Amino acid sequence: MADKRPDKITIAEVAKLAGVSTATAGRVLGGYGYSRQEIKEKVRESAEKLGYRPNLLARGLITGKTMTIGVVAGDIQSPFYASIMRGVADIARASGFGVLLTNSDERLDRELEAVQLLREKQVDGLIIAPSDIVRSPHLHSAIKDGCPVVMIDRAVVNLAADSVTVDNRAASRECIARLIAVGHRRIGMVAELERWEHGDFDEFIRCVLDDTVDPASLFPSWQRLFGYFEAHRDAGLPIDKTLVGRVGVYSAEVARKETHRLLQLPERPTALFTADGLMSAAAMEVIAALDLSIPSDLSLICFDDLDWMSFLKPGISAVVQPLTDMGEAAARLVLARINGEGGEPQRLALTPEFADRGSVAPPRIS
């Protein structure tokens, strides 16, 4: 007969070898209740000798915790989320927690499925990049049911949950101000800008100029557009909406089309600002196809720093988001809530850095 597998070793067998009661062995191996140090050592030595593996489901029924954090990422193939997950996983592991990762593809229906799955798995808390920042009843329901939620990258309006984002508005404003400072007056922007709940594009421009829109209520690409408009306003420059390439979806193909439109204008922009990594990669394809030289023909600044940006000559100047720090901060927040910390929701907005690599120069005088 084959030997009993380690995962079939029971607490009763560990208790017998250690010479203690099953209840005592359960307390030691489950990490709850009180036992003397010598008893703990005896039980743990017996468990190791037998090759005991804990039943996490059973432990969860006793302690009320499964020691897992659920994460819903927008796109697990993206370097953006990979770096955030590095930070989440490091902090979770150091605290004895595992991480269950799911993917929404930035689609609400898939996000709903992912949240339902993770809650059925009884995760102790959720970290999520919400695809709907206006309603998200499933997240309101999770919080009502006592499941801690931490949002990353963007925050749902009026959701009583912690969030970790970056100051997109200020970083974007700084980028455009840099371009204006060296003489650029026609600055193109390529951004996703999928939807804004409160009107059309013209209405958004009016609200920004009138200071009647709350940047915290916007998706990151709209926050970056907010900063773009603010920099123009601060410099006393008119806003030309034809210079904004609104892609409308998270699509490289459409981003290429919008970039091509901008760079084929009769009076094309002398500088370009791309609002995320996908937009940047698509724009570079078009710039190369049109045989434009950076920065002599076109200055370029990208939001999000990707590996290839430092490999080119010249390199591409970029906004560097503290992604691993974001993941670490999100994990610390959710662990604190899991451990019973109360208080008002924390809204952390980290400050990104700017990597100046030489892709900005004064516009060429015709």
Domain boundaries along the sequence of the chain: 6-63, 68-166+323-350, 168-321
Please state, in angstroms and as integers, the Cα–Cα distance from residue 3 to each residue in 6, 7, 43, 44, 54, following that order.
9, 11, 22, 21, 18
168-321 has CATH 3.40.50.2300 classification: yes
Tell me, what's the pLDDT at 301?
A: 98
Q: How far apart are CA 183 and CA 209, in angstroms?
A: 23
Please state, in angstroms and as integers, the Cα–Cα distance from residue 311 to each residue in 94, 277, 293, 314, following that order.
34, 15, 16, 8
Q: Which range has the top average pLDDT, 34-43, 204-213, 263-272? A: 263-272
- pLDDT beyond 80 at 320: yes
State mean pLDDT over 318-340: 96
Do domains 6-63 and 168-321 share one topology? The answer is: no
For residue 332, how many other CB atoms are within 10 A of its CB?
19
Tell me, what's the pLDDT at 161?
A: 97
- pLDDT beyond 90 at 10: no
Contact predicate 132/108, CB 8 Å: yes
Residue 331 CB contacts under 8 Å (≥ 6 apart), including other chains: 69, 87, 88, 90, 91, 92, 95, 127
Alpha carbon 245 to chain centroid, angstroms = 24
Tell me, what's the pLDDT at 6?
A: 47
At the topology level of CATH, where does 68-166+323-350 sit?
A: Rossmann fold (3.40.50)
Least confident span in 87-91, 144-148, 208-212: 208-212
Residue with tokens 């290429």: 256
At the topology level of CATH, where does 6-63 sit?
A: 434 Repressor (Amino-terminal Domain) (1.10.260)
Q: 67-84 burial, b if ≥16 CB within 10 A, otherwise e?
A: bbbbbbbbbeebebbebb
Q: Give the model's confidence band at 64: pLDDT under 50 very low, under 70 low, under 90 confident, else very high.
A: low
- pLDDT beyond 50 at 226: yes
State mean pLDDT over 130-156: 94
